[in-house]
Amino acid sequence: MKHSPQSLAVIAAAPQWQPAARELAQELDLPLLTETEPSRLEHPAYVLRRGDALQLCATGRKAPGPVEVDFVSGAAAHRRKYGGGKGQQIAKAVGVRSGFYPRVVDATGGLGRDAFVLCSLGCEVLVLERNPIVRALLADGLRRLREAAEQDAELAPLAGRLQLADDVDDSAGWLAGQAPESIPVVYLDPMFPPRGKSAKVKKEMVAFHQLVGSDEDADALLEPAYAACYYRTVVKRPRLAPWLAGKKPALSLEGKSGRFDIYTRHGVPG
């Protein structure tokens, strides 16, 4: 676990959220504070704010905005509607095409953005996330997606295709425990140390990276991922980053700031 009790606590967004905040604090073994506004706190450095949405907030008066998982509105909704469909690089990398929407295990879930894109393209996606704080954010985002899907027929199939695995502390170990060639596609996007001067890295995401850290053991994912996949393992990397585990992929799809390295085993249906 990347955090310590001194660096993170739980607060309620309003008094009526106090019971839910208490339950979350017990579940994650974190302190529960009575304050409801992160800006009025100097310590700890971060809080999980339990309200309509679960938010990870930096504390202090000049803190950046909160981080939450939102599959329903904002950037996720815009990309779902206008993101380019099967023409997107991620779709090509995974092998999506008309009539073929492979099941994907996203073994480094993070905030679930790529998993949701793959769901919106028609893939069933199982998300693994070992960090308990990030997993709590993901579970909350998935809960709100399913609630919204009850009122929105467009979201209902997406909510049905997205699943979060329970309590996976070691993605490499989980993958190693799967039968050989049993997962159509394994998708890896290890947390990479952010470039501090990049204008594209929002302040709130810098805070997220600081709390969660980078995946120092990411290289250990490739071998069990490739052993478990049937069609391919896809690795998302910053454009200039080295190959994962130093292994050259069969092919790469390169964009302006990132690339997808593809390790093929069997060809996808044509």
Residue 40 counted as an annotated binding residue: no
Residue 42 counted as an annotated binding residue: no
SS3 content of the chain, % helix, strand, coil (to 5): 35, 20, 45
The answer to whether residues 165 and 127 touch, using CB atoms and an 8 Å cutoff, is: yes
Beta bridge pairs of residue 11: 49
The answer to whether residues 70 and 55 touch, using CB atoms and an 8 Å cutoff, is: no
Radius of gyration, alpha carbons of the chain:
19
Burial profile 10-23: b = 16 or more Cβ within 10 angstroms, e = fewer: bbbbeeebbeebee
Burial profile 240-266: b = 16 or more Cβ within 10 angstroms, e = fewer: eeeebeeeebeeebeeeebbbbbbbbe
User: Quick one: angle between helices 132-149 and 18-28, nearest 10?
Assistant: 140
Residue 113 counted as an annotated binding residue: yes
Residue 114 counted as an annotated binding residue: yes
Beta bridge pairs of residue 144: none
Burial class (CB in 10 A: 0-12, 13-18, 19+), 223: middle
Binding site, by residue number, is 113-114, 129-130, 189
Binding site for S-adenosyl-L-methionine, by residue number, is 113-114, 129-130, 189
